[in-house]
A and B are shown apart, each in its own frame.
Chain A
Amino acid sequence: MTDATEMTLEEREATLGGIGCARKRKEDIRFIQGKGNYVDDIELPGQVFGDFVRSPYAHARVKSIDTAAAKAVPGVLAVLTAEDLKPLNLHWMPTLAGDTQAVLADQKVHFQNQEVAFVIGEDRYAVSDGIQAVEVDYEDLPVLVDPKQALAEDAPVLREDVEDKDNVGQGVRKHPNHIFAWEAGDRDETDKAFAGAAVTVKEEIFYQRVHPCPLEPCGCVASMDPVRGELTLYGTFQAPHVVRTVVSLIAGLPEHKIRVIAPDIGGGFGNKVGAYPGYVCATVGTIVLGRPVKWVEGRIDNLSTTAFARDYHMTGELAADSNGRIAAIRVHVLADHGAFNAHAQPSKWPAGLFSIVTGSYDIPSAHIAVDGVYTNKAPGGVAYRCSFRVTEASYLIERMIDVLAQKVGLDKAEVRLRNFVTPEQFPYTSCLDWEYDSGDYHTALNKVLEAVDYQGLLAEQAEKRKRGELMGIGLATFTEIVGAGPSRNCDILGIGMFDSCEIRIHPTGSAIARLGTKSQGQGHETTYAQILATELGIPSDDITVEEGDTDTAPYGLGTYGSRSTPVAGAAAAQAARKIKAKAQKIAAHMLEVGEKDLEWEVDRFKVKGLPEKTATMKEIAFAAYQNLPEGLEPGLEAVNYYDPPNFTYPFGAYLCVVDVDRLTGEVKVRRFYALDDCGTRINPMVIEGQVHGGLTEAFAIAMGQELTFDETGNIQGASFMDYFLPTAVETPVWETDFTVTPSPHHPIGAKGVGESPNVGGVSAFSNAVVDAFAHLGVSHMPMPHTPWRVWKQCQALGIGE
């Protein structure tokens, strides 16, 4: 065989567009031309529309629902209430956390804008008029919006349906409004460390309720084929295969009669992991009417009813010696889960992976306790661009280490360097039992300090402070835990959190790969193709990547928690290696040598010692369909289900510089330097895009996002008028950098990066704002750092006028 192209080795490598190549994203060709295909673009013959009557009350008894006038509205086809769903046993649905959630309010409403009735009509206009015509008689009840008050002895009981249960899926309850108590670590040892410590610090740290707020809200189109008895469900699903299983379990339809398709998705950030009443109602609607039913929520619906994130009331404590060396950490969390426990965590982890709270630091003892409670707020508790509850944990430790530095009078960089896990300690097992795969925290932080001239910034800050100006320098040196996960630790509904890839090589040497994950904008079509290009020696341009159709893609647990590259990316590499192993057999046959006589080079097998005798992958692909060795079956396909041996632990060092206007409370981010280590870098441009997006969301959370409630449970600010979605004008300029510490257990050493910038970013912004006031004795300020809150701090210090 001869090399027809006579390219150099470097040229052949470049042609592949494989790992390490900063190529443009394949999917953007359709996105930037407006040719994406989202759920609301789907129009099926005979399709009708459905939407909800929602409760104006946060807590009320539903005394009666009169649907007669609504049914008389021209174009309205049906109005569903809990009474209609009861015979199907679909008026309640199981949540991912072992609780149940009302699909349509059954006797009571538990949060404002809760779904009360579902109106189906010929078009959105008829449905909207129908919604106005439904008459609901409510009797309002006392409202609980404060989780602390929810546990008071005489607090009103919110969930009468589970009042007598001593367990709602995640452990023993101690109060009718209590959901679970969860602990980790060694209480006695931790108490002992605190008792003997030279220095202790304690801070109340609230991570406010926020919402992932993807640009595209949630929605679906349910279509029942009554003749074949087959249901097709199109939807904004981050985990389409899990949705199929859940639908089968809830609706009692056999799983092979259900096809779930997630088309293009306009952002998810955790908001599109769970199951929502709209999916159930649209499905019931199509079964009842025999016509496809579309449900797409509006912005206010999205912000006020579909899954929120955070809402963690944390009390953090550190014990240390006088040199700032940490001996122990103690944390208590009051977790506000809203009206139904519908958070999305691996089943065994009611507080997700919160026990990563020791962060990048070698802390000998820890004890953490988390209590989940019900309140009259929307259910949820998803990871908003972070792995399960990791951003809450990271925020806690990154704030607390600053509080400690201040107390012992050490520089915040120095106290971090003194406490970091050292490179030789990896693989490092934390006192809360996580085995960190790899890391080099000192190098990362020192690189950042040097890049920004940290000493120079400190000198400038000292000068400014003399003049009464407020300048803050914030650090975050975070460790993430992503890639959920090993099935011994992680499952959802009893299904291990593996992921999968199936590859088929076509005779002419191009390929299709299907995976169990689902891109929502992350660029999977580009990234996976690059992994496969390097592994298979086929140009990434010749590889189609498909996800999201449960009829064609192998079963997988979906995309969230930065798990796609660590888990499905590994499956892709492993499946490719199976193909390569078969290809080697075929190449040996083609070249009439033994398999062991061959070696791999970029895109071909070469006979050792005879470099001109080669078989390219393209040639092997063709041979796989016509020129096979005796006994080898034709074709070139492979599938791999990858159960990761461990999580991956990306990390980073971020530095933020802010200037505060003490008269208006405005905080201006002057500089933000973000160094990320996500192990092997597959596409540096995709990584940079992920980092920019994650930092922008972190900026939004730290500086403005919050969902608050008045005392009667009315949600405040649930529209873009108030909910802070920064534009390019508000967003700071990002400087990015990296180090590369590959994961030793991942087939290509990659760790995942989508969420790191949000996890580290929030702390860096917040630490910078607090640091601007640190010389005045301030140790903590509540997020978000909106101008009025920052001004209140100035005013309290007597510098606001």
Chain B
Amino acid sequence: MIPGAFEYHRPASVDEAIALLSRHGDEGRVIAGGHSLVPMMKLRLAEPGHLIDLQGLDSLRGIQQAGRCIEIGAMTTQQEVAASELLAEVCPILREAALLIADPQVRYCGTLGGNVANGDPGNDMPAVMQCLDASFVLRGPKGEREVPARNFYEAAYFTARAEDELLTAVSLPIPPAGHGYAYEKLKRKVGDYATAAAAVVLIMNGGTCESASIALTNVGQTPLFAEAAGQTLVGTKVDEAAVAMAVEAAKGIAEPVADMRGPEEYRTHVTGVMVRRAVERALARAQA
């Protein structure tokens, strides 16, 4: 449980961090909270030659509203996400999801940027960001671009981020007031990754579903945006028949692997249970 040797860098600016990333290519790895990377390094499953620590970059911290959007700096911790009054008011699913990540000690170190950038299918925030249709702001030597969360994840630990790019912020549209939301996560214990989890945002109008967004955690190589599942709810009263169809649609895209949490069949089944419970809770919270 001892990492291999590496050079440690602590850039003072985002530009310096990007320059370091460009210089060291695939030998360079960014470290934010370290809760995914450090265990991998201790097992020598990751052996970066250069570790670029972002802790000195205060410009990457903070949660701001900009018009109809919320911008969250990549180095904002999960604890800060959970404690934000602004988010609690305009996008409370983020608090609900953040509080289901690990334990308080980890949440004080772990960052939102690290959670979404790492590409670990076990992380919770990627599916939540897909559900909210957030975008990730990437900065590299050639400038800045935004990639929607729904297009960001390619395979486990592979994302649309180029090697010389830094994920600097998450930008998300504020869901309409009165939206219903829920993040349902089945896990074995505090600190565990999800056996299956579902993020749901519902917008109801006059008892009819105007829009529904569903995304799944840890039941595939990447977070899964369950677009068809959400579509089955739109235009319905979110009654039993519609929910059952949404559940089946979500289960249809789940491709969990068997692990100590259970065999594939079980994890697919509980994906459906989490979707159902998240939809029911979101519906109860939504203002018709």
- The answer to whether A and B interact is yes
Q: What is A's interface to B at a CB cutoff of 8 Å?
A: 124-125, 127-129, 132, 298-300, 663-666, 704, 716-717, 721-722, 724, 726-727, 729-730, 786-788, 791-792, 795, 800-801
B193 and chain A: residue at smallest CB distance: A721
Q: Does B266 contact A (CB under 8 A)?
A: yes
Is A800 a contact partner of B269 (Cβ separation < 8 A)? Answer: yes
Q: Are A729 and B1 in contact (CB under 8 A)?
A: no
| Chain B residues within an 8 Å CB radius of A787 | 186, 188, 195, 262, 266, 270
For A788, give its contact among B189, B191, B192, B261 (CB under 8 Å). B261
The answer to whether A791 and B188 touch (CB under 8 A), given A124-B2, A129-B5, A299-B1, is no
Kindly identify which residue among B44, B188, B262, B273 contacts A724, using a CB–CB cutoff of 8 Å: B188
Is the beta-carbon distance between B262 and A716 smaller than 8 angstroms? no
Q: Which of B2, B191, B192, B269 is the one whose CB lies under 8 Å from A791? A: B269
Q: How far is the CB of B45 from chain A (nearest CB, A)?
A: 12
The distance from the CB of A761 to the nearest CB of chain B, in whole angstroms, is 18
Q: Is the CB of A722 within 8 A of B260?
A: yes
Once the chains are docked, how many angstroms separate the CA of A132 from the CA of B192?
A: 30
Q: Which residues of B sit under 8 angstroms from A129, Cβ to Cβ? A: 4-5
- B5:A788 contact, CB within 8 angstroms: no
Instruction: Give the distance in Å from the alpha carbon of A128 to the alpha carbon of B44 in the complex.
Output: 10
Give Cα A472–Cα B190 distance, bound, in whole angstroms.
Answer: 25
Residues on B with C-beta less than 8 A from A800 are 269
Whether the Cβ atoms of B103 and A716 lie closer than 8 Å is no
Q: Choose one: A128, A298, A663, A722; the contact of B273 (CB below 8 Å).
A: A663
Interface string of B258-273 (1 = CB under 8 A from A): 0111110011011001
C-alpha spacing A664/B274, complex, angstroms: 9
A789 CB, nearest partner CB in chain B, Å: 8
Given contacts A722-B260, A787-B262, contact A298 B188 (CB under 8 A): no
Q: How distant is A795 from chain B, measured CB to nearest CB, in Å?
A: 8
In chain B, what residue has the closest Cβ to A800? B269
Q: Is the CB of A788 within 8 A of B266?
A: yes
- Interface residues, chain B, CB within 8 Å of chain A? 1-2, 4-5, 44, 103, 186, 188-192, 195, 259-263, 266-267, 269-270, 273
Separation in Å of the B107 CB from the closest CB of chain A?
Answer: 14
By a CB distance below 8 angstroms, the chain B residues around A666 are 186
A-B contact list, 5 entries, CB within 8 Å: A665-B266, A791-B262, A791-B270, A792-B266, A795-B269
Q: Is A786 a contact of B190 with CB atoms below 8 Å?
A: no
A299 partner residues in chain B, CB cutoff 8 A: 1
Tell me how far the C-beta of A301 lies from the nearest C-beta in chain B, rounded to whole angstroms. Answer: 9
Q: Do the beta carbons of A128 and B262 come within 8 Å of each other?
A: no
B267 CB contacts on chain A under 8 angstroms: 788
In the bound complex, what is the Cα–Cα distance between A726 and B195 (angstroms)?
A: 17
B5 → chain A closest CB, angstroms: 7
Complex Cα spacing A721 to B260, Å: 10
Bound complex: CA of A423 vs CA of B257, how far in Å?
55
- For B266, what are the chain A residues with a Cβ–Cβ distance below 8 Å? 665, 787-788, 791-792
Q: Give Cα A800 to B272, complex, Å.
A: 12
Contact across chains for A788 and B263 when beta carbons are under 8 A apart:
yes
A664 touches B270 (CB 8 A): yes
Q: Are B190 and A132 closer than 8 Å at their CB atoms?
A: no
Q: What residues of chain B lie closer than 8 Å to A726, measured between beta carbons?
A: 189
Shortest beta-carbon distance, B227 to chain A, in Å?
25
- Complex A-B, nearest 5 residue pairs according to Cβ-Cβ distance, in ascending order: A788-B262, A128-B2, A722-B260, A788-B266, A298-B1
Option from A298, A664, A727, A791 in Cβ contact (under 8 Å) with B190: A727
B228 nearest CB across to chain A (Å): 21
- Residue ID in chain B nearest A728 by CB atoms: B190
A686 to B155, CA, bound (A): 52
Contacts of B191 in A (CB 8 A): 727
Bound-complex Cα distance A127 to B2 (A):
9
A729 and B190 CA atoms in complex are apart in Å by 7
Cβ contacts under 8 Å, B190 to chain A = 727, 729-730
- Taking the nearest CB of chain B, how far is it from the CB of A715, in angstroms? 11
Report the bound CA distance from A801 to B251 in whole Å.
Answer: 13
Which B residues touch A127, using CB under 8 A? 2
Nearest-CB residue, chain B, relative to A124: B2
Across the interface, name the chain A residue whose C-beta is closest to B273. A663
Q: Is the CB of B186 within 8 A of A664?
A: yes
- Contact check, B260 vs A727: say whether CB atoms are below 8 A apart: no
Interchain CB contact under 8 A, A786 and B262: yes
List the A side residues contacting B270 at CB < 8 Å.
663-664, 787, 791
Please measure, in the bound complex, the distance between the C-alpha atom of A704 and the C-alpha atom of B189, giving whole angstroms.
10
How distant is B199 from chain A, measured CB to nearest CB, in Å?
Answer: 18
Contacts known (A722-B260, A727-B103, A787-B195); A704 close to B273, Cβ less than 8 A: no
Q: Please measure, in the bound complex, the distance between the C-alpha atom of A724 and the C-alpha atom of B190, giving whole angstroms.
A: 10
Nearest chain A residue, comparing its CB with the CB of B47: A132
Within the complex, the shortest CB–CB distance from A120 to chain B, in Å, comes to 15
| Docked CA distance A551–B270 (Å) | 59
The residues of A that contact B192 with a CB separation of less than 8 Å are 721
**Further 14 A-B residue pairs, CB within 8 A, beyond A704-B188, A722-B260, A788-B261:** A127-B2, A128-B4, A129-B4, A132-B4, A663-B270, A664-B186, A716-B260, A726-B189, A729-B190, A787-B186, A787-B195, A787-B270, A791-B266, A801-B269
